[in-house]
Amino acid sequence: MDARQEAARGLTDIENFLYREAHLKAAHRRVSEFVAGVRGLNPEQKNDIERWYLDEQRHVARMVTDHIADSISVVEEQHHVRFGRWLRGTMLSMALITTMMLGLCVVLIANVV
C-alpha cells in the first residue's frame, strides 16, 4: 500500500471514529434526557439504564457497520466478476478483429504481387 492509499485509509478511519463518537454522544444525550424525566429512579438505576442503552447503541452500530461492509464486499466482488467478463470479451473481440485484419492484409498483398 502506497502513502496515498495509507493516507486515504487513515482519513476514512478518522471519519468513522468521529461519526461513531458523534452517534454515541447523541445517544448519551437522548438517554440522559430520558432518565432525567423518569421519576423514582435513584442515581445508580439511572447510570445502569444509560450504560445499557449506550452498550446497545454500540452493538447496533457495529451490526450496521458489519452489514454495510459485507454488502460492499459482495457488490465489489460482483463488479470484479462483471469487469473480468467484459475484459475477456473485449480482448477476444480485439484478437478476432486483429486476426481478420491481418488476414485481409495478407490476401490484398498476395493479390497485388
pLDDT tens digits, residue range 13-47? 888 788 888 888 999 999 999 999 999 999 999 99
Indicate whether this model's pTM tops 0.85.
Answer: no
What mean pLDDT do residues 64-83 have?
90
Q: Among residues of the chain, what percentage have pLDDT more than 90? A: 61
Q: Crossing angle for the helix pair 3-37 and 43-112, nearest 10 degrees? A: 150
Q: Which residues contact 24 (CB under 8 A, 6 or more apart)?
A: 54, 57, 58, 61
